[in-house]
Structure 1
Amino acid sequence: MSAPVAHGSIRRRLLLSLLAGAAVLAIVVYFVVQSVARQVAQESQDNVLAASALSILDSARYSGQEINVDLPYSALSMLDSISDERVFYAIRLENEFLSGYDELPEADGTVAGVPAFRSATFLEEEVRVASVRRRMSTDIGQSYLQVSVAQTLSGQKQTLARISQTSMGIGAGFFLVSVLLAAIIARSTIRPLDRLTVSVSRRGPKDLRPVAAPVPSEMVPLVASLNSFMRRLKRSLTRSEDFIAEAAHRVRTPLAIVRTKAEIVQRKADNPETRTALREMIHAIDDSSRTAGQLLDHAMVTFRLDHLSQDEISLLRLVQEAVERLRPISEMKEIELHAIGTEDSIIQGDPILLQNALHNLLDNAIKYSPAGARVTVALTRHNDGGEIRITDTGHGFPEAELDRLTDRFARGANAESIVGSGLGLTIVKEVVEAHGGKMYFENMPGGGACVSLHFPLP
C-alpha cells in the first residue's frame, strides 16, 4: 500500500502566514516611528524658530521716524542650544529690507500674529524658515513688520538618522519576538491534530472504536468523518471474514462431493475410455479444489495480515501439531514424517497464520516427494531467534527457478503433473515476513530440498 503523498504542511503554512504578517507589521512600525520622529523633530524646530522670531519682533520699537530693533540674546541663543546649526534672520518693513540677510527667503502666506513655515535652500544649504509679521504704527500709517528666522537642517538630519537606526532596531526586535510568538502559536494550534494522530496511530490493528477525545470545533467534521469511516471499515472487514469462511465451505464441499461421485463411477465403469475420462475429471476436480482452497487461504492470510494478532506461540507445539495433522497423508503416500528437536522458542504472532504457513510447507514436501522418501521437521533455538527447518529426500528445487519460487502462481517445471496452485510458498513468505522473520531455500547436497523459517524472539 503506497503512503499518502504529503502536500505542504499546515504548521509551515501557518508559521509562514504569521511571519509574513509580522514582517509587514515590523515594516509598518519602522515607518510609523520614522514618521512620528520626523514630525516631532519638525514641530520642535518650528516652535523654537517661531519663538525666536516673535522674540525679535517683540523687541522692535518705532521712534524718531526709525524702527529700532534690539536683537535679544535669547532670540538666537535658544537655537544654538539645540544643535550646532547656523542661524540666519531677516527683518523687513513691508517690502523694505531693514536688517539681516537680504536674500533669506520668507515663508509664504504669513498672517498677522501667526507664524508661517517653509523649507528652502539658502547659501547652498537646506534651511527651515519661520516668518512672523505684526502691524506697527509709523508716520505713514499702519505697516507690517516681518521677521524671518532660519536654521540649517544638518543636525536635524543626523538626529533623524540616529532615530532611523533606533526604529530599525525596534522593528527587527519586534520581528524576532513575533517569530518566537508565531512558532509558539503554530505549535499550539497544531497540537490537537498531533494528539489525534498519535491517538489513532497507537491503536492496535483491530481497534476500530470511534474517536471520543475532545477536539477543537474546527476538527469535529474531520473526527466525525474518521469515525464514520472506521464504522464502515469494521462492517466491511466483518463481512469479508464471514465471506471467506463461508466461501471456503461452499466451494470445497461441492467439489468434494463431485470427486466422490466421480470415483464411484470410475470404479464401476468397464469402458477404458470412460475410466480415462473420469480419471482426468478427478484430476481436474482436485486441481480446482486445491486452487480454490489456496485462493481462499491467500485471501484469509491477506485479511489477517492487516489485523495481525500478537499471541504467545510455542514453536515446539506448533511443529508437533502440524506433523500430527499431516501424518495420515504422509502414511498414505508411504512417506516417513517426523519432528526432531525439543528446545522450545516462544514468539509473538498469529497462530492461525503460522499454522497455515507450516501446513503449506509440509503439504508441499509430502506432495513433491516420491514414495519411500523422508520428511524431517527440525526445531532449533539460536541467540537471535527460533528456526524451523523442513527437509525432504525428494528431487529438490529446480536451481534455475529458486529466485521465483515465492512468486504468485509460479510453479516449477517439475510440478506439471502434480496438483497445485502456485500460491503455497507465496502464502508462507507473506506470513513469515509479517512476523519479522525470513525464509530460505536450498537444495541438500545428497538430494532433496530444505526450507528454513527463522523467527526473531520478542
Structure 2
Amino acid sequence: MIQSRSIGKRLTLLLAAVAALLSVLSWAMVTALAREASQRTQDNVLAASATTIAETLRSEQGEVRLELPYAAFAMLGAISEDRVFYRVTAGGVTLTGYDELTPPTPGSAGQVVFETSVFRGAAIRMASLGRAVLAGDEPVLVTVTVAQTRDGVSAVADDLSSLAAMLSVAFFLLAAALSALVAYTSLKPLNEIASAVSRRGPSDLRPVVRPAPTELAPLLLALNRLMDRLRQSIRRSEDFIAEAAHRIRTPLATVRAQTEIALRMAQTDTEREHLRQIIRAVDESSRSAGQLLDHATVAYRIEDLARDTLDLATLAARTVAALEPTASMRDIRLLLKADTAWIAGDAVLLENALRNILDNAIKYSPEDTSVTLQITCDATTARLSVTDQGPGLGLAPFEPLTQRFQRGENTADIVGSGLGLTIAAEVLQAHGGRLELSNAQLKGGGACITLVLPLA
C-alpha cells in the first residue's frame, strides 16, 4: 500500500501555517501602529511646545521680544529623556537657540510643519511654526522651531513591537495546538469507521452502518458497494472450486474405471503398459484436483480461524481411523502412541493437515511396514510426530518441500502433487505452530514429520 502524508498532519500544518501568517500580520500591524502612535505623540508635544513659545512673542519699541517659558520644554521632557533643540528666528535672524538648526520649509501662518532630519549626528523630529509679529510699522515673520531626538520614541515603539511579537508567538502556539485538536476532531469519524471495519473478521462483509458526517457518506457508500462485490466474488469462487472439483473427479473416475476394464482385456504387454500409464495419469490428476480443493479450503478457513479447545490425541485417533482402510490395503499398520494434549484451533484444518501428512506416510511406505504417530508435550507445546519406513526426505534441504508443487528427490514413480506439506505448513503457521521435517533415525530409514502446536 502506497501511503502519502497523513491528512491530519496536512490539515494541522495548513491551519498552523494560516495561524503563523496571521501572527506575522498582526505583529506587523501592531508594530506599525505603535510607531505611528509614538510619532503622533511626539508630534503633538512638539507642536504644543512650539505653540507655547510662539504665544510669548511680543513687540516692544519696534523689536520682537521673547521669553522662553519653562513649560514649553518641561512637556518635552515628560515623554522621554531625549535631547531638545530649538531656534527662534525673526526675519531670518536668530533670536535665540541653535543657529545651525535648519527649520523645515514654513507653511502658512499659524500652521505647524513637521520634519524628520539629522542634527549633530542624531535623528531628530522637528516642529516649526511661523507667526507674524508687528515690529514697528512692518510685520515680521517669526519662526519657532523645536526639535527632539527620537531615541525615546523608538525605544517605546520597539518595546511595543517586542510585546506584540511575544503575543503573536503565544497566539501561534495556541492556534497550532487548537489546529491539532480541530484536525483530530474532524478526522475522528473517519478513524471510528476504520476501527469498526478493522475489528471485523475476514468473512464479515456486512455493510457498514453507522452515523457519519455528510462528507463521508460517499466513502461509506463506495466501501459498502466494494464489500458487496467482494462477498459475491468470494461466493462465486467457492462455488466454482467445489463445482470444478466435482466436475473433474467424476470424469476421471469414469476414465479410470474404463481403463481398468480395458487393462483386463488387453492382449499384449505394450497395450497393458500404455493403459497403466493412463491409470497413473488419471490417479495423479484426481489427487491434484483433490489437494487443490483442500488447499483452497484451507486458505479460506485460515481467514476466519476457529479457536476451539481440542484434544490432539482424539483428533489424531479420528484421522487414523479414517485412513485405516487405505493403509490396510497395503498391509501398513498405523500405530498411535498418544497422551492427552489440549490445544486451541480449528478441528477441520488440523485434521486436513494431519490427513495430508499421514497420507504421504502411507503412500511412500513399503508394504507390510508400520507408520507411527506419537504425541509428546513439554511446558508450552504439543508435538505430534509421524514416522514412516519409506525412502525418507533425501539429503537436499528440507525447507523447499513445504512450497507448492515441490517434491523430494526420493519420490520415484509415486503419484503426488506437491501440496500435502504445503497445506500442513500453512495450517500450523495459522495456529502459531510450525512443521518440522527430518529423516527418521531408524534402521531402515524413513521420514519424520512433526506438527508442533502451542498448548491451550
Residue 8 (structure 2) pairs with residue 24 (structure 1): no
- Identify the residue that residue 164 of structure 2 maps to in structure 1: 167
Pairwise CA RMSD of aligned residues?
1.8
1:361–1:425 Cα contact (<8 Å) kept = yes
Residue 300 (structure 2) pairs with residue 320 (structure 1): no
Bigger shift: residues 320-329 or 191-200: 191-200
Q: TM-score, normalised by structure 1?
A: 0.94
Q: Tell me, in whole angstroms, the C-alpha distance in 1 between the residues paired with 2:358 and 2:205.
A: 36
Q: Tell me, in whole angstroms, the C-alpha distance in 1 between the residues paired with 2:59 and 2:208.
A: 97
- Identify the residue that residue 65 of structure 2 maps to in structure 1: 68
- Structure 1 runs, 4 residues or longer, greater than 4 Å off: none
| Residue of structure 1 aligned with 2:437, choices 422, 436, 441 | 441
Q: SS of the residue aligned with 1:413?
A: coil
Spell out, residue by residue over 1:335-380, the C-alpha distance to the aligned partner (whole angstroms, 9 max, x if none). 001322131313133x322222111101000000001111122223
| Residue of structure 2 aligned with 1:118, choices 115, 124, 137 | 115
Residue 389 (structure 2) pairs with residue 393 (structure 1): yes
Q: Tell me, in whole angstroms, the C-alpha distance in 1 between the residues paired with 2:345 and 2:91.
A: 110
Q: Tell me, in whole angstroms, the C-alpha distance in 2 between the residues paired with 1:407 and 1:125.
A: 90
Q: Tell me, in whole angstroms, the C-alpha distance in 1 between the residues paired with 2:278 and 2:333.
A: 30
- Identify the residue that residue 457 of structure 1 maps to in structure 2: 455
Residue 431 (structure 2) pairs with residue 424 (structure 1): no
- Identify the residue that residue 399 of structure 2 maps to in structure 1: 403
Residue 309 (structure 2) pairs with residue 276 (structure 1): no
2:50–2:127 Cα contact (<8 Å) kept = yes
Structure 1 residues not aligned, in runs of 5+: none
Q: Tell me, in whole angstroms, the C-alpha distance in 2 between the residues paired with 1:207 and 1:427.
A: 24
How far apart are residue 94 of structure 1 and its match?
4.3
- Identify the residue that residue 360 of structure 1 maps to in structure 2: 356
- Identify the residue that residue 342 of structure 2 maps to in structure 1: 345
| Residue of structure 1 aligned with 2:155, choices 158, 163, 168 | 158
Q: Tell me, in whole angstroms, the C-alpha distance in 1 between the residues paired with 2:246 and 2:110.
A: 113
2:63–2:136 Cα contact (<8 Å) kept = no
Q: How many residues were matched structurally?
A: 454
2:106–2:129 Cα contact (<8 Å) kept = no
- Identify the residue that residue 381 of structure 1 maps to in structure 2: 377
Given the superposition, is the C-alpha separation of residues 289 and 109 from structure 1 closer, same or farther in structure 2, using an over 3 Å criterion?
Answer: farther
- Identify the residue that residue 43 of structure 1 maps to in structure 2: 40
Spell out, residue by residue over 1:314-339, the C-alpha distance to the aligned partner (whole angstroms, 9 max, x if none). 32332122111100000001000132
In the alignment, residue 87 of structure 1 is paired with which amino acid? V
Q: Tell me, in whole angstroms, the C-alpha distance in 2 between the residues paired with 1:397 and 1:363.
A: 15
Q: Tell me, in whole angstroms, the C-alpha distance in 1 between the residues paired with 2:220 and 2:102.
A: 76
- Identify the residue that residue 187 of structure 1 maps to in structure 2: 184
Q: Tell me, in whole angstroms, the C-alpha distance in 2 between the residues paired with 1:176 and 1:109.
A: 51
Bigger shift: residues 61-70 or 152-161: 152-161
Q: Tell me, in whole angstroms, the C-alpha distance in 2 between the residues paired with 1:386 and 1:190.
A: 47
- Identify the residue that residue 79 of structure 2 maps to in structure 1: 82
Bigger shift: residues 103-112 or 207-216: 103-112
- Identify the residue that residue 244 of structure 2 maps to in structure 1: 247
Q: Tell me, in whole angstroms, the C-alpha distance in 1 between the residues paired with 2:91 and 2:193.
A: 85
- Identify the residue that residue 143 of structure 2 maps to in structure 1: 146
Identical positions, percent: 43
Spell out, residue by residue over 1:279-329, the C-alpha distance to the aligned partner (whole angstroms, 9 max, x if none). 111111111111222222222322333333344433233212211110000
